[in-house]
A and B are shown apart, each in its own frame.
Chain A
């Protein structure tokens, strides 16, 4: 991703080539700061008001007992690390954190394996095959999250399609949303997210020079060896970037789970976003809710560090 800005901003002052002669520099002198302040003002305002503001407020509010109603709403107090102490001791929080990590790992594993498999299998196929399979997989991705939730609810419910299919093999029906809620939401999320990894890996694969693979083949490498020793190492950057984006996407999944199981049964599929919603909006404890939101960001951050290290470790060219 770091390469992106290089197209026109080759960093340090030495950017001579695209800093053309007279006309431009004199023109620049004329406008002063106004030439960039004015056009950037609307975007800056929106992002400061709705992004930077709330984030700063998150950090502040997580140290207070800010609440929606009651005495605390009137006079919010600074409570120091109370919210975080409460977090650490809260068994529901710990359970939610574990569920979030399991949800993340399951989704990431499923999306990566399926996406990579599809990208590899679709490579060099006829356009019709690629188009047909691609349309179905991308279709799942384009469907709005609420609808994806409904569709999977219908698929996994006791009266749903899956049981109808299993019934044909004489298997007894069960409500999968009740017996395996986490697995159910992971499956739905993988179904929805695979298209993204398929597309990025497909784009990455198209840049892997095929003569390398052919050379390895000629030298007697098996298909699996070519994949493991030639293709995957060349895909490393794409892999790390995609994993990072999938993680940031997956860690915040709320709608899909909320529609399918609403966090239940009990709290067996209550991940951090659902717990945050319940604490902050159902129970009105904004301070505690934001503390959970911070924890969510920490989980995302920890995973990101792993990928960034994965990128930089083998970088020394």
Chain B
């Protein structure tokens, strides 16, 4: 029922010259139905998530979502130890944060020539990059594993970081090129006329204007690598190097009877940073960051 109220406002509040103005009784009934359907759909999407929220603060959590029988923060207290949470989270920060910085930096360097110069190989290169964005990473993990074994890189945090960076680079380059395309070249020309070198014009003109775009690239990398389970699961083997994604999974099977409350609490702790980052990006992009926008370029 509460969903109905906003509709009433939108009918009068919005200067939409279409049907809203000539709404017939049939359309009003239709609007009620639409809101009802939307409410049901939203509820269905919310339902599975409720378990995580409730169980994390429930002293006697089961697999069943329900209001906590006894509200407690014990679950969080139990897992907030260096071995279970802090260390894995720090590993996640190292690998994903490192990958984000590397991707943003390399993307900026690579995208500038691709955007500004006339290069013979530009189009094929860009199409290759575009193709690489869609490449199923899972499919190349076995050969990457073979490569890591042969090169003695298995269980190395920095090599994993580099691989994560490489896997997000195509999308980063693509995005950054579009951002640079949006910066008028006339600005740089003016600087050149005034005697600035290419490097100076990049340093003082392009970089500051590109900063928000690079932040988007970095945060996007962070969000997508933070949730990645398969890559660290395969490339990192020792427990002290595991990022949170893998640790929370091993935690799941660690005890004879799983402590569901703690599992939910861990899941929540591990999820919150991505949600916060995602909100930050979508705010920064003013709603344009829907990936749809990135695709259309």
Residues of A participating in the B interface, judged by any CB pair closer than 8 Å: 1, 3-5, 7-9, 11, 15, 18-20, 23-24, 27-28, 31, 35-36, 39-40, 42-44, 46-47, 49-51, 53-55, 57-58, 61, 66, 68, 114, 117-118, 121-122, 124-129, 132-133, 136-140, 142-147, 150-155, 157, 159-161, 164, 188, 191, 194, 196, 199-200, 202-204, 210, 214, 217, 238, 241, 244-245, 248, 251-255, 259, 273, 276, 280-281, 286, 289-290, 293-294, 296-297, 300
Contacts and interface: CB of A to CB of B under 8 A. Distances in A.
Contacts of B23: none
A255 B147 contact: no
Contacts of B130: 1, 4
B245 interface: yes
A44 B138 contact: no
A43 B109 contact: yes
Nearest to A142: B278
Nearest to B246: A146
Central interface residue in A36, A200, A210, A296, by most chain B CB within 10 Å: A36
Contacts of B181: 7-8
A15 to B, nearest CB: 7
B131 to A, nearest CB: 10
A5 B119 CA distance: 14
Contact of A136 (B7, B45, B271): B45
Interface string B225-237: 0111110001000
Contact of B132 (A47, A127, A143, A281): A47
Contacts of A276: 138-139, 142
A114 B178 CA distance: 30
B63 A154 contact: yes
Given A139-B275, A140-B45, A203 B293 contact: yes
Given A161-B48, A161-B51, A150 B138 contact: no
A39 B105 CA distance: 10
A196 to B, nearest CB: 7
B37 to A, nearest CB: 6
Interface in B100-131: 102, 105-107, 109-110, 112-115, 117-119, 122-123, 126-127, 130
A104 to B, nearest CB: 12
B1 interface: no
B136 A248 contact: yes
A132 B297 CA distance: 27
B79 interface: no
B129 to A, nearest CB: 8
Interface of B: 3, 6-7, 9-10, 16, 18-20, 34-35, 37-38, 41-42, 45-52, 55, 62-66, 102, 105-107, 109-110, 112-115, 117-119, 122-123, 126-127, 130, 132, 134-147, 149, 162-163, 165-167, 169-170, 173-174, 178, 181, 185, 189, 192-193, 198, 223, 226-230, 234, 245, 248-249, 252, 260, 263-264, 267, 270-271, 274-275, 278, 290-293, 295-297
A268 B113 CA distance: 50
A24 B189 contact: yes
A146 B192 contact: no
15 contacts: A3-B297, A5-B126, A42-B106, A43-B109, A51-B140, A54-B140, A54-B146, A61-B143, A142-B223, A144-B229, A150-B267, A154-B48, A160-B51, A286-B142, A297-B139
Contacts of A191: 45, 48
B136 A46 contact: no
Contacts of B297: 3-5, 7
B117 A35 contact: yes
Contacts of B122: 9
A189 to B, nearest CB: 12
A47 B7 contact: no
B35 A39 contact: no
Given A43-B110, A200-B290, A241-B295, A128 B6 contact: yes
B126 A154 contact: no
Given A55-B140, A146-B270, 9 more contacts: A4-B178, A4-B295, A46-B165, A132-B42, A142-B275, A147-B271, A155-B48, A161-B48, A161-B64
B13 to A, nearest CB: 8
B143 A27 contact: no
B41 A118 contact: yes
B128 to A, nearest CB: 9
Contacts of B37: 121
B117 A36 contact: yes
Contacts of B138: 252-254, 273, 276, 293, 296
Given A5-B126, A151-B267, A280 B142 contact: yes
